Amino acid sequence: MPVIAIDGPVASGKGTLARRLAKALNFAYLDTGSLYRAVASLVLARGSDPNDSVLAAKVADSFTADDIDRDDLREEKVGQAASIVAANQEVRKSLLEFQRNFAKTPPNNHLGAVLDGRDIGTVVCPSAEIKLFISATPEVRAERRHKELLGRGDQSIYARVLEDLRERDERDRNRDTAPLRAADDAVVLDTSDMDADKAFTLAKKLIDERL
């Protein structure tokens, strides 16, 4: 089954792109960030600290697909906590098998799988047929996230969003296990000056040439 690996930092547009590609190709889609968010949400729901590595590892160990349906996954505080639990090697180990199974056996008779995250091309699916690394400047990404938050009726201050995003980037890029980076054979797409349609058209063309 063909696999498309899409990695990139916070609000790079990788999720929107991955979802659209999966739909266009009739592939199953997995937002792997939601797994780390689910673990973080479960840790926070217990009133615990995401830095408690023993507890986070235990929660990840009993992770099931149903946990992805938790209501608070898109909240900023869950995103921050997700990047803390994601630096935990035991947490990553527990979630690896779920992701690899999804890629190997996409659910619902899909013809392939699209996975997006931080380490799909480098660790989860190193032999993916297509690897894309989506980037954009921190300012552009913060602006997108800020508008998204306002759009859904949340309060948001641009400067705060930018600061949180830099903090999360820093943690994701500098952790010891599976840091955020482009795989050597990934195609890098800078979407700073692109809208979602342009990014989709470019990515789809590349995939059609290669698959």
Give residues in contact with ligand C5P (CB under 6 A). Answer: 10, 32-33, 36-37, 79, 82-83, 86, 117-120, 168, 172
As a whole number of angstroms, the distance between CA 170 and CA 189 comes to: 20
Burial of 169 (0-12, 13-18, 19+ CB in 10 A): middle
Strand order in the sheet with 3-7: 28-31, 113-117, 3-7, 130-135, 187-190
> Any binding-site annotation on 8?
yes
Q: Which is nearer to ligand C5P, 44 or 82 (CB)?
A: 82
Please give the single-letter amino acid code of residue 77: K
Q: Which is nearer to ligand C5P, 67 or 119 (CB)?
A: 119
Q: Which is nearer to ligand C5P, 196 or 208 (CB)?
A: 196
Quote the least distance from Cβ 37 to ligand C5P, whole Å: 5
Quote the least distance from Cβ 209 to ligand C5P, whole Å: 26
Q: Which is nearer to ligand C5P, 82 or 134 (CB)?
A: 82
Quote the least distance from Cβ 22 to ligand C5P, whole Å: 16
> Any binding-site annotation on 161?
no
Quote the least distance from Cβ 45 to ligand C5P, whole Å: 17
> Any binding-site annotation on 9?
yes
Quote the least distance from Cβ 34 to ligand C5P, whole Å: 6
3-state secondary structure of 53: helix
The alpha carbons of the chain give a radius of gyration, in whole angstroms, of 16
Q: Which is nearer to ligand C5P, 65 or 205 (CB)?
A: 65
Please report which residue ranges of the chain form alpha helices under DSSP H: 14-25, 33-45, 53-61, 76-85, 89-104, 138-151, 158-174, 196-210
In angstroms, the Cα distances linking 199 to 26, 49, 81, 194 are: 18, 38, 29, 6
Q: Which is nearer to ligand C5P, 25 or 103 (CB)?
A: 103
> Any binding-site annotation on 117?
no
In angstroms, the Cα distances linking 161 to 5, 127, 158, 166 are: 27, 35, 5, 9
Is the torsion defined by CA of 31, 34, 36, 38 positive or negative?
negative
> Any binding-site annotation on 83?
no
Quote the least distance from Cβ 70 to ligand C5P, whole Å: 13
> Any binding-site annotation on 13?
yes
> Any binding-site annotation on 177?
no
Mark the binding-site residues, compressed into ranges. Answer: 8-16
Binding-site residues from annotation for ATP: 8-16
